[in-house]
Amino acid sequence: ADDLTVAANSCIFTDNNASSDLIECVAPTSSANIYKHGSVDFLSVAAPILNEYSDTSLADTKSALDAATIAYADDGQITYFENAGIRIALVSLQLTKNPNTADDTELVRTAKASAEYVIVYFWGGDNDSHAPEEWLTAALRSFADAGASLIVGCGNGVLRPLEKYYDTTIAYSLGTLIDGSSMYHENATALLQLKITKDEAGSLVESIQLIPCYVYKEIWQPCLVSDPSDEQNIVAFLYGEAELPTEY
């Protein structure tokens, strides 16, 4: 029921051979409709893994998303949305251990010059650590200083806590919502729901809600957390009040 639902895609959609030395995440082009069925409006395709397959695989993926009428953005792209008189910029980034922070920060400034609210949506960070790396923290804080209103991490396999840096919320990683691997080691993830309104003076009012989810439950399908204890632990972890989001 949201006005705009954003997700990150690390799957190749192709009907051709998508050879790779990595553990493959490949599906037929028709499967791109999964996002449409899930009411996803916009995707980041800045995942590094998408460049590890055959030369035509990423092009096939984009064609499949086009056919499914799913909008998407590559690394370094700014996308603008406007709703209820509020102009929002979404900056898609892929961050590595040595990010070109100066260029990325300038991109955030460019977005801020044309939008009231700027979201940085990034891929980056170690898949096996709950603690953000020092280089990543420094880079994301520089984006906040440049005008980012909200910074959200994706693509990292595990949840990471949130940080309030001055007026900017930084979600270092929301984990993985869909993972078909039976080796997945942590059944905890979260959705972040943002609500933006304007007060009588015309100033933006931001509200952020975290919605804990299971990555799988019985049928390997993500769903809302139903156990109050699990929910409490995941939320406590996200706000830095628990060491781990799950007890296992």
Instruction: Say how far apart CA 107 and CA 91 lie, in whole Å.
Output: 8
Tokens of 77: 């792209």
Residue 80 has pLDDT above 90, yes or no: yes
The pLDDT value given to residue 96: 80
Q: 3: burial class by Cβ within 10 Å (0-12, 13-18, 19+)?
A: exposed
> In terms of DSSP bridges, do strands 42-44 and 6-8 run parallel, antiparallel, or are they unpaired?
parallel
pLDDT for 157 equals 78
The maximal CA–CA distance of the chain, rounded, in angstroms, is 57
Residue type present at position 184: Y
* Residue 173: predicted pLDDT: 94
What tokens appear for 74 in the block? 């590559």
User: What confidence tier does 181 reach under pLDDT thresholds 50, 70, 90?
Assistant: low
Mean predicted confidence (pLDDT) in 94-112: 88
- The DSSP call for residue 246 is S
Residues 42 and 149: their CA atoms lie apart, in Å, by: 19
* Between 146 and 50, the higher pLDDT residue: 146
Which residues on adjacent β-strands are paired with residue 7? 43
Residue 9 has pLDDT above 80, yes or no: yes
* Conformation bin of residue 240: beta by default, left when phi > 0, alpha when psi is -120 to 50: left
Q: Identify the sign of the CA torsion 235, 240, 174, 170.
A: positive
* pLDDT at residue 23 greater than cutoff 70: no
Whether pLDDT at 247 is above 90? no
Tokens found for residue 175: 């984990």
pLDDT band at 100 (very low <50, low <70, confident <90, very high): confident
Q: What is the pLDDT of residue 217?
A: 80
- Collect contacts of 127-133 with beta carbons under 8 A, ≥24 apart: 127/156, 127/157, 127/158, 128/157, 128/158, 129/158, 130/158, 130/159, 130/160, 130/161, 130/237, 130/244, 130/245, 131/160, 132/160, 132/172, 132/173, 133/97
Split at pLDDT 50, 70, 90, the class of 135 is very high
Task: Please check the confidence at residue 141 and state whether its pLDDT lies above 90.
Answer: yes
Note the pTM of the prediction, 2 decimals. 0.94
pLDDT of residue 182 exceeding 70, the answer is no
Res 216 pLDDT > 90: no
Q: Which residue has the tokens 């690394």?
A: 75
Q: Is the pLDDT assigned to residue 17 strictly greater than 90?
A: no
User: Is 3 a residue whose pLDDT tops 60?
Assistant: yes
For the residues 23-39, what does the mean pLDDT come to? 88
Q: What is the mean pLDDT of the chain?
A: 90
In the chain, what percentage of residues exceed pLDDT 70? 94
